């Protein structure tokens, strides 16, 4: 068979849980391309351009600070430590970090912060 359709998942850029499902099909109608698509079925293939339902509920109130290990992070691939804290939008910290804050399509906002820096300023215990 030279054609396949697979259901794939896109993750929430904030919490890393599933935010959206999508369907991929192979546009090149060869057995090889079809097999590549088949392999993706049920897998997460990247981040969504918006937050998941749970995170987006806080989009008007907080900016999410996501802890990363800067030693293990690649340039475009931050290594997440699993620490996430919502910080009130009108806080001093959010103001100070404004240039690093990323805004998603649904207006959810987040930024990455080194785990140890976050610890020092009391974001997590």
Asked if 84 interacts with Zn ion (CB under 5 A), we say: no
In the set 4, 6, 10, 14, which binds Zn ion (CB under 5 A)? Answer: 14
Residues 6+ apart with CB under 8 A from 17: 11, 52, 54
Asked if 104 interacts with Zn ion (CB under 5 A), we say: no
Length of the chain: 125
How far apart are the C-alpha atoms of 15 and 30, rounded to whole Å? 37
Q: How far is the CB of 70 from Zn ion (least distance, A)?
A: 22
Nearer to Zn ion, 12 or 37 (CB): 12
* Strand duo 102-103 + 109-114: pairing: antiparallel
How far apart are the C-alpha atoms of 94 and 72, rounded to whole Å? 25
Q: How far is the CB of 100 from Zn ion (least distance, A)?
A: 19
Q: Which of residues 36-75 bind Zn ion (CB under 5 A)?
A: 52, 55
Nearer to Zn ion, 50 or 113 (CB): 50
DSSP state of 118: H
Nearer to Zn ion, 37 or 52 (CB): 52
DSSP state of 88: E
Site residues, Zn ion (CB under 5 A): 12, 14-15, 52, 55
């Amino acid at each position: 068979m030279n054609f396949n359709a697979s259901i794939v998942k896109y993750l929430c850029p904030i919490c890393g849980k599933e935010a959206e499902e999508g369907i991929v099909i192979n546009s090149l109608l060869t057995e090889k391309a079809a097999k590549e698509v088949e392999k993706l079925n049920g897998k997460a293939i990247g981040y969504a351009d918006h937050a998941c339902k749970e995170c987006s509920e806080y989009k008007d109130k907080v900016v999410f600070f996501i802890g990363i290990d800067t030693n293990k992070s690649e340039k475009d691939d931050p290594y997440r430590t699993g620490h996430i804290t919502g910080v009130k939008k009108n806080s001093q910290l959010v103001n100070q970090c404004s240039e690093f804050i990323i805004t998603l399509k649904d207006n959810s906002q987040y930024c990455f912060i080194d785990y140890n820096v976050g610890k020092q300023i009391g974001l997590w215990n």
